[in-house]
Amino acid sequence: MTVTLEGRPKEIIAGKNYAHLAIPREDGTVQAVIVWADLEGDNVTLNSAEGRSWPANLRKAGNATVTVMADSNPFEWVSVTGNLTQATHDGADEHIDALAKKYLDADSYPFRQPNEQRIKFVLEPERVYYNPPQ
């Protein structure tokens, strides 16, 4: 069942806040990485380069949890568990440039490597938990 993101949880993800991505591995352990995240409607979007381990694990698992803390108060956070609905190269370069604008105020992603192929992931929320400020 898909859920909607709204209010403060949506603001936190849309803001310049870093995300923790947790992906189940085939052996039952969890891979956790820090990533940039954004939204398209209620869906969480992520971006990476082909050849890295977490994109391969996300494709295999088909789901992940993204937790984003508000930079003004790390005890205020939102956690979204969602299903992978899209993994595409189409628009991935533009997406990483938009993330670079959001996080670095740079017009293009400055860490691009030669021959790097970017991939954009879209997670559809199945469960959302918001921890309000204490």
Domains along the chain? 7-131 (2.30.110.10)
Q: How many CB atoms lie within 10 A of CB 70?
A: 19
Regions in the chain scoring below 70 on pLDDT: 1
- What pLDDT score was predicted for residue 2? 75
Q: How many CB atoms lie within 10 A of CB 29?
A: 9
Q: How many CB atoms lie within 10 A of CB 124?
A: 17
- What pLDDT score was predicted for residue 1? 65
pTM score of the predicted model: 0.94
Cα gap 63→31, rounded to integer Å? 12
